[in-house]
Structure 1
Protein backbone atom coordinates (compact mmCIF):
# COMPACT_ATOMS: atom_id res chain seq x y z
CA UNK A 1 0.00 0.00 0.00
CA UNK A 2 1.33 3.43 -0.93
CA UNK A 3 1.06 6.47 1.29
CA UNK A 4 -0.82 9.49 -0.03
CA UNK A 5 0.20 13.15 0.29
CA UNK A 6 -2.73 13.63 2.67
CA UNK A 7 -1.53 10.72 4.84
CA UNK A 8 2.03 12.09 4.88
CA UNK A 9 0.80 15.56 5.86
CA UNK A 10 -1.33 14.12 8.67
CA UNK A 11 1.71 12.35 10.13
CA UNK A 12 3.85 15.50 9.80
CA UNK A 13 1.31 17.60 11.71
CA UNK A 14 0.60 15.03 14.45
CA UNK A 15 2.26 15.85 17.76
CA UNK A 16 4.59 13.35 19.36
CA UNK A 17 3.00 14.16 22.75
CA UNK A 18 -0.38 12.94 21.46
CA UNK A 19 1.02 9.56 20.40
CA UNK A 20 3.49 8.94 23.23
CA UNK A 21 0.84 7.92 25.83
CA UNK A 22 -0.43 5.30 23.37
CA UNK A 23 3.08 3.88 23.06
CA UNK A 24 3.33 3.69 26.87
CA UNK A 25 -0.06 2.00 27.20
CA UNK A 26 0.77 -0.51 24.49
CA UNK A 27 4.10 -1.60 25.90
CA UNK A 28 3.05 -1.59 29.57
CA UNK A 29 0.00 -3.73 28.80
CA UNK A 30 2.43 -6.33 27.44
CA UNK A 31 4.73 -6.23 30.47
CA UNK A 32 7.43 -3.93 29.09
CA UNK A 33 8.66 -0.78 30.84
CA UNK A 34 8.81 2.92 30.00
CA UNK A 35 12.58 2.65 30.49
CA UNK A 36 12.71 0.08 27.67
CA UNK A 37 10.53 2.33 25.51
CA UNK A 38 12.90 5.24 26.11
CA UNK A 39 15.86 3.01 25.26
CA UNK A 40 14.27 2.17 21.92
CA UNK A 41 13.42 5.81 21.20
CA UNK A 42 16.94 6.91 22.13
CA UNK A 43 18.45 4.25 19.88
CA UNK A 44 16.38 5.49 16.92
CA UNK A 45 16.53 9.26 17.51
CA UNK A 46 19.43 9.98 19.85
CA UNK A 47 17.07 11.70 22.34
CA UNK A 48 17.86 11.00 26.00
CA UNK A 49 15.14 11.10 28.69
CA UNK A 50 15.54 14.84 29.33
CA UNK A 51 15.38 15.79 25.66
CA UNK A 52 12.44 13.45 25.10
CA UNK A 53 10.51 15.05 27.97
CA UNK A 54 11.36 18.51 26.62
CA UNK A 55 9.94 17.59 23.20
CA UNK A 56 6.79 16.16 24.80
CA UNK A 57 6.33 19.31 26.90
CA UNK A 58 6.79 21.50 23.80
CA UNK A 59 4.18 19.40 21.96
CA UNK A 60 6.35 19.23 18.85
CA UNK A 61 5.00 17.74 15.64
CA UNK A 62 6.49 14.58 14.18
CA UNK A 63 8.03 16.82 11.52
CA UNK A 64 9.92 18.77 14.21
CA UNK A 65 10.60 15.64 16.28
CA UNK A 66 12.35 13.83 13.45
CA UNK A 67 13.87 17.06 12.16
CA UNK A 68 15.79 17.35 15.46
CA UNK A 69 16.62 13.64 15.63
CA UNK A 70 19.93 12.07 14.71
CA UNK A 71 18.61 8.85 13.19
CA UNK A 72 20.57 5.72 13.98
CA UNK A 73 22.59 4.58 10.94
CA UNK A 74 21.04 1.12 11.35
CA UNK A 75 17.47 2.44 11.14
CA UNK A 76 17.29 1.25 7.54
CA UNK A 77 17.48 -2.32 8.91
CA UNK A 78 13.94 -1.83 10.29
CA UNK A 79 11.73 -3.61 7.77
CA UNK A 80 8.37 -5.27 7.60
CA UNK A 81 4.75 -4.22 7.66
CA UNK A 82 3.30 -1.74 10.14
CA UNK A 83 -0.14 -0.12 9.96
CA UNK A 84 -0.67 -1.80 6.59
CA UNK A 85 2.45 -0.30 5.00
CA UNK A 86 5.66 -2.08 4.04
CA UNK A 87 8.28 0.19 5.62
CA UNK A 88 10.95 -0.31 2.99
CA UNK A 89 8.50 0.82 0.26
CA UNK A 90 7.50 4.12 1.93
CA UNK A 91 8.92 6.95 -0.18
CA UNK A 92 8.22 9.93 2.13
CA UNK A 93 11.17 10.23 4.53
CA UNK A 94 9.18 11.57 7.48
CA UNK A 95 6.45 8.95 7.15
CA UNK A 96 9.13 6.23 6.94
CA UNK A 97 10.79 7.54 10.12
CA UNK A 98 7.47 7.63 11.98
CA UNK A 99 6.80 4.04 10.88
CA UNK A 100 10.27 3.02 12.05
CA UNK A 101 9.28 4.21 15.50
CA UNK A 102 5.89 2.47 15.30
CA UNK A 103 7.60 -0.77 14.28
CA UNK A 104 10.10 -0.60 17.16
CA UNK A 105 7.30 0.01 19.67
CA UNK A 106 5.36 -2.89 18.16
CA UNK A 107 8.36 -5.21 18.44
CA UNK A 108 8.87 -4.14 22.06
CA UNK A 109 5.22 -4.84 22.85
CA UNK A 110 5.44 -8.25 21.19
CA UNK A 111 8.22 -9.25 23.56
CA UNK A 112 11.08 -9.27 21.10
CA UNK A 113 14.52 -9.26 22.70
CA UNK A 114 16.12 -5.84 23.01
CA UNK A 115 19.21 -6.90 21.04
CA UNK A 116 16.98 -7.78 18.08
CA UNK A 117 14.92 -4.58 18.36
CA UNK A 118 18.09 -2.48 18.41
CA UNK A 119 19.46 -4.35 15.38
CA UNK A 120 22.63 -5.48 17.19
Structure 2
Protein backbone atom coordinates (compact mmCIF):
# COMPACT_ATOMS: atom_id res chain seq x y z
CA UNK A 1 0.00 0.00 0.00
CA UNK A 2 1.44 3.38 -0.96
CA UNK A 3 1.17 6.60 1.10
CA UNK A 4 -1.87 7.87 -0.81
CA UNK A 5 -3.75 4.60 -0.33
CA UNK A 6 -2.82 4.57 3.36
CA UNK A 7 -4.11 8.13 3.76
CA UNK A 8 -7.39 7.17 2.07
CA UNK A 9 -7.77 4.06 4.21
CA UNK A 10 -7.16 6.09 7.38
CA UNK A 11 -9.78 8.65 6.33
CA UNK A 12 -12.30 5.90 5.54
CA UNK A 13 -11.69 4.32 8.96
CA UNK A 14 -12.37 7.67 10.65
CA UNK A 15 -15.47 8.20 8.49
CA UNK A 16 -16.86 4.75 9.31
CA UNK A 17 -16.37 5.42 13.03
CA UNK A 18 -18.16 8.78 12.70
CA UNK A 19 -21.11 7.19 10.91
CA UNK A 20 -21.39 4.41 13.48
CA UNK A 21 -21.15 6.93 16.33
CA UNK A 22 -24.07 8.84 14.77
CA UNK A 23 -26.23 5.70 14.87
CA UNK A 24 -25.73 4.35 11.36
CA UNK A 25 -24.97 0.75 10.47
CA UNK A 26 -22.11 0.24 8.02
CA UNK A 27 -23.11 -2.48 5.56
CA UNK A 28 -20.14 -2.47 3.24
CA UNK A 29 -16.87 -0.68 2.57
CA UNK A 30 -15.02 -0.21 -0.70
CA UNK A 31 -17.72 -1.85 -2.81
CA UNK A 32 -16.56 -2.05 -6.42
CA UNK A 33 -18.70 -2.27 -9.53
CA UNK A 34 -16.09 -3.39 -12.02
CA UNK A 35 -14.65 -0.45 -13.92
CA UNK A 36 -17.64 1.75 -13.12
CA UNK A 37 -16.19 2.79 -9.78
CA UNK A 38 -16.32 2.30 -6.06
CA UNK A 39 -18.56 3.26 -3.17
CA UNK A 40 -16.41 4.05 -0.13
CA UNK A 41 -19.08 3.22 2.46
CA UNK A 42 -22.62 1.85 2.19
CA UNK A 43 -24.61 2.31 5.38
CA UNK A 44 -28.13 2.37 6.79
CA UNK A 45 -29.48 5.41 8.60
CA UNK A 46 -32.69 3.96 9.97
CA UNK A 47 -34.44 2.75 6.81
CA UNK A 48 -32.47 5.05 4.49
CA UNK A 49 -29.65 3.56 2.43
CA UNK A 50 -26.66 5.90 2.54
CA UNK A 51 -24.01 5.89 -0.16
CA UNK A 52 -21.07 7.72 1.36
CA UNK A 53 -18.11 9.25 -0.42
CA UNK A 54 -15.07 9.89 1.76
CA UNK A 55 -12.46 12.50 0.89
CA UNK A 56 -9.32 12.88 2.97
CA UNK A 57 -6.89 15.75 2.64
CA UNK A 58 -3.79 16.95 4.44
CA UNK A 59 -3.86 20.66 5.27
CA UNK A 60 -1.22 22.77 3.56
CA UNK A 61 0.09 23.10 0.06
CA UNK A 62 -0.32 20.67 -2.80
CA UNK A 63 2.33 21.48 -5.34
CA UNK A 64 2.29 25.26 -5.73
CA UNK A 65 -1.44 25.65 -4.97
CA UNK A 66 -3.48 25.51 -1.81
CA UNK A 67 -5.20 22.21 -1.19
CA UNK A 68 -8.85 21.65 -2.06
CA UNK A 69 -11.02 21.23 1.03
CA UNK A 70 -12.39 17.69 1.12
CA UNK A 71 -15.99 18.94 1.24
CA UNK A 72 -15.51 20.61 -2.17
CA UNK A 73 -14.45 17.40 -3.85
CA UNK A 74 -17.82 16.12 -5.12
CA UNK A 75 -18.92 17.89 -8.26
CA UNK A 76 -21.62 17.05 -10.78
CA UNK A 77 -19.67 14.26 -12.50
CA UNK A 78 -18.78 12.51 -9.24
CA UNK A 79 -22.36 12.87 -7.97
CA UNK A 80 -23.72 11.24 -11.14
CA UNK A 81 -21.24 8.38 -10.80
CA UNK A 82 -22.31 7.85 -7.18
CA UNK A 83 -25.99 7.76 -8.24
CA UNK A 84 -25.23 5.12 -10.89
CA UNK A 85 -23.22 3.08 -8.40
CA UNK A 86 -26.04 3.30 -5.85
CA UNK A 87 -28.52 2.03 -8.46
CA UNK A 88 -26.25 -0.88 -9.27
CA UNK A 89 -25.73 -1.75 -5.59
CA UNK A 90 -29.51 -1.73 -5.06
CA UNK A 91 -30.14 -3.87 -8.16
CA UNK A 92 -27.70 -6.50 -6.91
CA UNK A 93 -29.51 -6.64 -3.57
CA UNK A 94 -33.08 -6.91 -4.78
CA UNK A 95 -34.50 -3.42 -4.65
CA UNK A 96 -34.50 -0.13 -2.82
CA UNK A 97 -34.90 0.15 0.94
CA UNK A 98 -38.19 1.49 2.33
CA UNK A 99 -36.61 4.82 3.32
CA UNK A 100 -35.02 5.57 -0.05
CA UNK A 101 -31.42 6.43 -0.84
CA UNK A 102 -29.23 9.35 0.18
CA UNK A 103 -25.72 10.34 -0.89
CA UNK A 104 -23.51 11.72 1.87
CA UNK A 105 -19.99 13.06 1.96
CA UNK A 106 -17.53 12.71 4.81
CA UNK A 107 -14.58 15.05 4.59
CA UNK A 108 -11.51 14.31 6.67
CA UNK A 109 -8.97 17.07 7.09
CA UNK A 110 -5.61 16.27 8.65
CA UNK A 111 -4.09 19.50 9.97
CA UNK A 112 -0.38 19.95 10.47
CA UNK A 113 -1.01 19.99 14.22
CA UNK A 114 -3.77 18.49 16.29
CA UNK A 115 -6.23 15.76 15.59
CA UNK A 116 -8.17 15.10 12.41
CA UNK A 117 -11.29 17.11 11.61
CA UNK A 118 -14.16 14.95 10.37
CA UNK A 119 -17.18 16.62 8.74
CA UNK A 120 -20.32 14.76 7.64
CA UNK A 121 -22.63 16.36 5.07
CA UNK A 122 -25.93 14.57 4.45
CA UNK A 123 -27.73 14.55 1.13
CA UNK A 124 -25.06 16.22 -0.97
CA UNK A 125 -26.32 14.89 -4.30
- What TM-score, normalized by structure 2, do the two folds share? 0.29
User: Which structure's CA Rg is the greater one?
Assistant: 2
Higher helix share: 1
Higher relative contact order (CA 8 A, sep 6+): 1
Higher strand share: 2
- What TM-score, normalized by structure 1, do the two folds share? 0.29
